[in-house]
Amino acid sequence: MHIGHDHPHAHGEAHAGPGHEGGDPHAPPGDHDDTLDYYRKLEIAVRELLIEKNVLSADEIRRTVESYDSRTPEGGARVVARAWVDPEFKALLLKDATAACESLGFDMNVFDVKLTVVENTPSEHNVIVCTLCSCYPRMLLGMPPAWYKSRAYRSRLVREPRAVLREFGTVLPDDVSVRVHDSTADLRYIVLPMRPEGSEHLSEAQLAQLVSRDSMVGVTTIPPVAP
């Protein structure tokens, strides 16, 4: 048996990576650190200058990058589940989302924008986009998915939101108002989805497990819980 042989391929099948030239099916794959393109060089140059000129320290940059990287949609799901079980928290969340999230222990200081929660109801469905770039509620959801940054999503969601929602499997009746939110400036939106039917008996932690990233962007809703 082959120790450490965990990549799925049929023996004799060609690999695309540069490490496999010469036909050896077990040669190591090529390194992927060979993308020193224009923007990467620009970022490195600017970062080094900021450090050299004492505008920012290397440690501040590290701390900020780590803070961004530590965030995942589980953070948003915790906030949503709390809002479902605690009416006072929900009222604060809709009024001052930053304060509400800080009360749950989220560090909101690294984000110089105003977090705003938009609530789905039986008559209103909210969905977020950033047509100008890729503004996203990173403090609660982490990095945006590739489709959120695509030109197709950014241009089509404002123009034909119901068609885009249908492609995500979300079909809404005509008496539900679809409210698109374009984060063009200093607001970041996150959707508070509706608590699904059949979830009455679940604990806060169990509820958080139901809350998907896409439901907090607003491209999906949360399906009823099977009895």
Partner 1 sequence: MSAGHLEPGDSVAVLDVDVPGHIRTPFYVRGKRGVIEREVGRFRNPEELAYGRSGEPKRMLYRVRFAQAEVWPDYEGPDVDTIDVDIYEHWLRKV
> Catalytic positions, please?
130, 133-135
User: Is 171 among the residues that bind partner 1 (CB under 8 A)?
Assistant: no
User: Is 185 among the residues that bind partner 1 (CB under 8 A)?
Assistant: yes
Question: What is the number of helices (H) and of strands (E) in the chain?
Answer: 11, 4
Question: Pick from 179, 194, 199, 225: which binds partner 1 (CB under 8 A)?
Answer: 179
- Which residue(s) pair with 119 in the sheet? 192
- Name residues contacting partner 1, limited to 104-133 (CB under 8 A): 114, 131-132
CA distances from 86 to 48, 92, 104 (A): 46, 10, 12
Q: Where are the alpha helices (DSSP H) in the chain?
A: 38-52, 58-69, 73-85, 87-95, 97-103, 138-141, 146-149, 151-159, 161-167, 204-210, 213-217
User: Is 186 among the residues that bind partner 1 (CB under 8 A)?
Assistant: yes
Q: For partner 1, which is the closer residue by CB, 54 or 123?
A: 123
Q: Report d(CA 50, CA 56) in Å as an integer.
A: 6
What mask of x and - would describe binding to partner 1 in positions 68 to 107, judged by CB under 8 A?
Answer: ----------------------------------------
CB of 89 to partner 1, least distance (A): 21
Comparing CA positions, the residue from 133, 99, 131 lying closest to residue 116 is 99
User: Is 55 among the residues that bind partner 1 (CB under 8 A)?
Assistant: no
User: Is 187 among the residues that bind partner 1 (CB under 8 A)?
Assistant: yes
Place of tokens 């047509």: 131
CB of 189 to partner 1, least distance (A): 9
CB of 162 to partner 1, least distance (A): 5
Total site size for partner 1, rule CB under 8 A = 23
How many C-beta neighbours within 10 Å does residue 47 have? 13
DSSP state of 121: B
Residues at the site binding partner 1, with contacts judged by CB under 8 A: 114, 131-132, 158-163, 174-187
